[in-house]
Structure 1
């Protein structure tokens, strides 16, 4: 039996009660708030044959890149496969199956086809958009949503989310003015929309409008933070603005409170924590014992070998905490990952393995090796995922390694390059000043 959801799409196995719970879960996910897992579990409890509820549950356990989420997603995948009644639902089942097995690009393509046929499938758009982010596919971050936009308008539930995703895709492809306008409109429609908030934060980061960024993020934190499970990343963006301005006290305060005060074991939160501490480490800031909690939380999952982008941040944490053996273990696990027949083998082989080796070399004081490992991968780093803002840590590591290796010519060239793209950046000016007065950093 099928019924119709709030976007006019047929769903199999739903009741009125279960559909209400499903719609709540989807709305929560579109805002990155509250507990969509609990909401979709209520949908399934109300109608065990509700195919799209099982699909949503699977996506929720896959898109966090948590190794522990894969078995749960398998269970939900089986349930969705047994109940899917429409071509669209079967598309979700196929895409989920690909992602469970690490076939990120095939999952992306299947969801692309789903939304070509059903552009109002908000869940397929969101899942596909996240996969585009995790695979560093900036063009599809934009185009997947652009294709669907004509089927949406402001009267439809979740329209703010479509605008926020389009904004992020526009930002990652350098269309900053349109990105900012779309993101701000998304927040205007739904102040609790963490992704639209995040898209504007990226625009302001890429344009180095740090004062505007601080104003944007501090204007209404009750809107985008609160019960958001995405709030750590948005606080991280605020910290980046302060970092560029050289306000290290503000960065440390944000780390100790909003970013890692809770010492989260959530992978995406640990990525942000490690990335921020590594930036401080590159700048020579003594962060005390802050590395310990981050490294402790990476330890149980660091050798899973399921996503190279996560591997890099685990290695940062271990190097920062002085746990060289743990960092070496991650790099050893990557060799096994590269032998598998999945997309992470490519993520690791193309970028992740050398990036991790470079961070380890930097930690060992072998800055020349870090330079040699980073230079070939910096222009292809999108292949292992993340955003421009996140991958910037590789450029920052390369610049600092060049200075510390005594390669003053390269350091000066890299500093000039950064100042050209970020002429208003105090950090870029700091690099340029160092290059004008060459000196080794111990």
Structure 2
């Protein structure tokens, strides 16, 4: 049964951040405020925003925010919400009009990501306490592969939000994506001190620990925080556990520890009635391909097969570029003919975006083609596609963090070793070891490469890996 406005008097009412909203309903504002909290806390109940237009169908902000949510979750509805928002602009406040302009560039017929980013800069310049619009703009920057612009956005509003929850997690993530780990750790700790349930600050701190090979610290910290994850979205819940599993894997813990996380905390999420399957699959596949590049294929074949059965269905394609690439690997590695169909679908899909974005996404297609060949065991073809100067960081446009892209670096090492480019492999692995000398897996990989080249220092690399492995979780 649809709700009705709690009052018929149209007036302006403040949201939780003090922005004026033109509405006849206090319940409409309450739904908007609830949505803000869900977005910032990565909550499971983001659909609460759909209640706001029910309480006041004429509220422009309610309809704008509902349009943005519906564009991803209920595509058949977003245009009606956007039209309703536009119809109410005449009586809307300046804040509501600014939000409408920014969102309409993201989801409307005139979708333009560059214009949307410009509109968000303008919006946040005038309304710097709007952390939900900041989060929306940062997500846009993430998919554009522009952490530099994302950092600029958060720095623009930080002076107005220095004591606010959630702002420091948003700052920390951009700093770590730009390699500024010391600053990222300080920001994440500050966010965590303000609100211990700020999942983005927790997540950013784990990123720092993981990058710096502080695996035991990362796992203990995340496991301590895990009781606060029960109400978060499927993505955030499984992604946080994905980080824990990758720490175990990079620290070369027994594979049973990694698979325990996969089975009980990632895959099991699908048993929840309110789970978002696509959000689970991206972390499930992201972990399985990582296990695969570590040479532990035998123990995960059945799990890969389960996922290939899912991704043989074309209805599962097109949710995320990263997810499609990971699914492509799974299908190809199991010799599924549907892998080729998925690759063709990805190639055709880039023509649905602007000409400017098409050029950027051509690089994503190259990565997809290489991963397809890698999955099929065609290592030479994968090498020819990627070229001799491959750098995974150049592929951020697929919507992946540095940590998520690392698996493609591991694919690269595997390709080099399999085609006999041992010297090149050693060069690349040693480059990574110089940055992350505390990672046992990298030393084990170096031992393998040295041994293949007949070098005497292979035993030294093996001893280093063994010592680090013992120290990681002692």
TM-score exceeds 0.5: yes
- Contact kept? 2:63, 2:82, Cα under 8 Å: yes
Give the unaligned 5+ runs of structure 2: 1-10, 455-474
Listed one character per residue, the Cα deviations across residues 91-118 of structure 1 (whole Å, up to 9, x for unaligned) are 3333333323663333222212211121
Instruction: Tell me if 1:435 matches 2:449.
Output: yes
Aligned positions of 1:324-363 closer than 5 A: 325-342=337-354, 345-350=358-363, 352-363=364-375
Name the counterpart of 2:223. Answer: 218
Listed one character per residue, the Cα deviations across residues 377-422 of structure 1 (whole Å, up to 9, x for unaligned) are 5252123332111111111110011111121111111111111111
2:238 to 229, 232, 241: 232
Give the unaligned 5+ runs of structure 1: none
1:290 to 303, 326, 334: 303
CA distance in 1, matches of 2:432, 2:316: 32
- Contact kept? 2:15, 2:32, Cα under 8 Å: no
Name the counterpart of 1:277. Answer: 288
- Contact kept? 2:124, 2:133, Cα under 8 Å: yes
Name the counterpart of 1:93. Answer: 100
Q: Which has the higher contact order (CA 8 A, sep 6+)?
A: 1
CA distance in 1, matches of 2:279, 2:143: 11
Tell me the CA shift for residue 245 of structure 1: 0.9
Tell me the CA shift for residue 236 of structure 1: 0.7
Name the counterpart of 2:404. Answer: 390
Secondary structure (helix, strand or coil) at the match of 2:269 reads coil
Tell me the CA shift for residue 215 of structure 1: 1.6
CA distance in 1, matches of 2:24, 2:309: 43
Q: Is 122-131 or 180-189 further displaced after alignment? A: 180-189
Tell me the CA shift for residue 239 of structure 1: 0.9
Instruction: Tell me if 1:150 matches 2:170.
Output: no
Instruction: Tell me if 1:422 matches 2:436.
Output: yes
Secondary structure (helix, strand or coil) at the match of 1:6 reads coil
1:187 to 192, 195, 199: 192
- Contact kept? 1:139, 1:169, Cα under 8 Å: yes
What is the TM-score normalised by the length of structure 1?
A: 0.90
- Contact kept? 2:143, 2:397, Cα under 8 Å: no
Distance 1:51 1:296, change over 3 A: farther
Name the counterpart of 1:36. Answer: 46
Tell me the CA shift for residue 148 of structure 1: 0.2
Listed one character per residue, the Cα deviations across residues 239-298 of structure 1 (whole Å, up to 9, x for unaligned) are 110110112211111111111123465323211111111111112212031123333444
Distance 1:163 1:265, change over 3 A: closer
Aligned positions of 1:192-211 closer than 5 A: 192-211=197-216
Q: Is 252-261 or 176-185 further displaced after alignment? A: 176-185
CA distance in 1, matches of 2:315, 2:31: 32
CA distance in 1, matches of 2:434, 2:150: 26
- Contact kept? 2:13, 2:20, Cα under 8 Å: yes
Secondary structure (helix, strand or coil) at the match of 2:315 reads coil
- Contact kept? 1:337, 1:345, Cα under 8 Å: no
What is the TM-score normalised by the length of structure 2?
A: 0.84
2:84 to 73, 79, 83: 79
Tell me the CA shift for residue 69 of structure 1: 4.0
Distance 1:416 1:269, change over 3 A: same
CA distance in 1, matches of 2:341, 2:317: 7
